Amino acid sequence: MSERAIIHVDMDAFYASVEQRDNPALRGRPVMVGGSSRRGVVAAASYEARQYGVRSAMPSARARRLCPAGVFVAPRFERYREVSAGIFRIFRGWTDLVEGLSLDEAFLDVTEAVVSGDSIQDIGLDIKRRIADEFGLTASVGMAHNKLLAKIASDYDKPDGLFHIEPGAVQRYLDPLPVQRIWGIGPRSGERLNDAGIYTAGQLRQTGIDVLERLFGEHGHDLRLRAAGIDERVVNPERERRSVSQESTLGEDLHRLEEVMSLIERQSTKVAVKLAEKGLYGRTVTLKLRSGSFSTFTRSQSLAGYTRSTRVIGSTACTMLRRWADWRTEFSVRLVGVGVSGLAEHPDETDIID
């Protein structure tokens, strides 16, 4: 067999679904996992809450306005890690080539099992059934011959989806998709493509390389390959996380310190959530800024101990921001990023900063 067999598993509203499963009183109700305070952020939303427009990473105050009847639940990351470990054991029953992206998402390379006679559809269905039987949860499973297409397939029929993009049907499913659905195309790149009259993957695939290189340089060639469904990345079970970060390229430049600080606070919450998901703490906070003139500023500050506190990460990054802004009478910022490195799983309790 020349083609690889790749599966992408994405648990449906994982944190919220675990809470609804563990607490029957929450079933059928709009559940928002996260902090309910004015400065809190939604870490996950049940599908009932999503019907009101609530999404993960949304400020809790806005979520409350959109869904007044919603129930806020404090996250229990130890519980989510426990359930996730059991789900990943199901994955490894089929292959050792499992690349975990988060507690609720992974790529599996099941090529060997398919070569041995199992069909990729049967493997995907077995994974879904076992997750449902053993954990009472639903997963959306996408199957294809590479990671890009498997990810797109898992999004095709959420929630509780099962979809296979076969090699001969790639363009049928890919061509109508908005360019923003292609891996590697963020909001700003999507806007540039739309401004050039390129709205779908099919249009991107057929755009001349000279046009794309004018827009994106050498990266334009990679984007056209992805629009054609070509992806040579392998499933990497040994991927080591050296840092946890959150970065945003903005549709419009920011010019006020308060606006940048507000974004940093939201990003710090997301970074703290990712650290808690992984059971990690970090010792160094990094702030990255890119100006409207494309100059990049990066600064790092090491802490006296380890943290995964939103408050500590955010205040440290904001202190670096103020130092950067102090000697500027005006500025424009088009990219903001917050990261934490120097990671450890079990630092001494006396070294933890809350």
pLDDT attached to residue 148: 95
Alpha-carbon distance of 354 to 310, in angstroms, equals 9
Cβ neighbours, 10 Å, residue 211:
15
What is the arithmetic mean of pLDDT over 284-312? Answer: 88
**pLDDT bracket for residue 219 (50, 70, 90):** confident
What is the arithmetic mean of pLDDT over 110-122? Answer: 95
Is residue 48 part of the annotated active site? The answer reads no
Nearest of 58, 40, 289, 188 to residue 49 by alpha carbon: 58
What is the arithmetic mean of pLDDT over 308-320? Answer: 93
Higher-confidence residue of 344 and 313: namely 313
Per-residue pLDDT tens over the stretch 259-274: 999 999 999 988 998 8
Q: Beta-strand (E) ranges in the chain?
A: 6-11, 31-34, 42-45, 71-73, 98-102, 105-109, 139-144, 162-164, 243-254, 282-291, 296-307, 333-341
What is the arithmetic mean of pLDDT over 243-269? Answer: 89
- Give the list of residues 6+ apart from residue 295 with CB closer than 8 angstroms, or none: none
Higher-confidence residue of 21 and 58: namely 21
What is the arithmetic mean of pLDDT over 86-112? Answer: 94
Structure tokens at 58: 């949304």
Helix (H) or strand (E) holding 273: helix 257-278
**pLDDT bracket for residue 149 (50, 70, 90):** very high
List Cα–Cα distances, 197 to 189, 206, 217, 220, 223, in angstroms.
Answer: 13, 12, 18, 15, 15
Lowest mean pLDDT among 167-176, 180-189, 296-305: 180-189
pTM: 0.75
Q: What is the DSSP letter of 281?
A: B
pLDDT attached to residue 39: 63
Euclidean distance between the first and the last CA atom of the chain, given in angstroms as a whole number: 53
pLDDT attached to residue 1: 45
pLDDT attached to residue 296: 82
Task: Measure the CA angle with vertex 119, ends 159 and 133; round to 5°.
Answer: 45
Lowest mean pLDDT among 141-145, 193-197, 223-227, 290-294: 290-294
Higher-confidence residue of 123 and 305: namely 123
pLDDT attached to residue 297: 87
Lowest mean pLDDT among 27-31, 45-49, 77-81, 275-279: 275-279
User: Domains along the chain?
Assistant: 1-166 (3.30.70.270), 175-227 (1.10.150.20), 243-351 (3.30.1490.100)
**Which of the residues 19, 99, 105, 277 is marked catalytic?**
105
- Give the list of residues 6+ apart from residue 225 with CB closer than 8 angstroms, or none: 231
pLDDT attached to residue 130: 96
116 has a pLDDT exceeding 70: yes
Alpha-carbon distance of 287 to 299, in angstroms, equals 5
Alpha-carbon distance of 224 to 329, in angstroms, equals 41
187 has a pLDDT exceeding 80: no
241 has a pLDDT exceeding 70: no
Alpha-carbon distance of 87 to 22, in angstroms, equals 16
38 has a pLDDT exceeding 70: no
Phi (first) and psi of residue 10, to 5 degrees: -130, 110
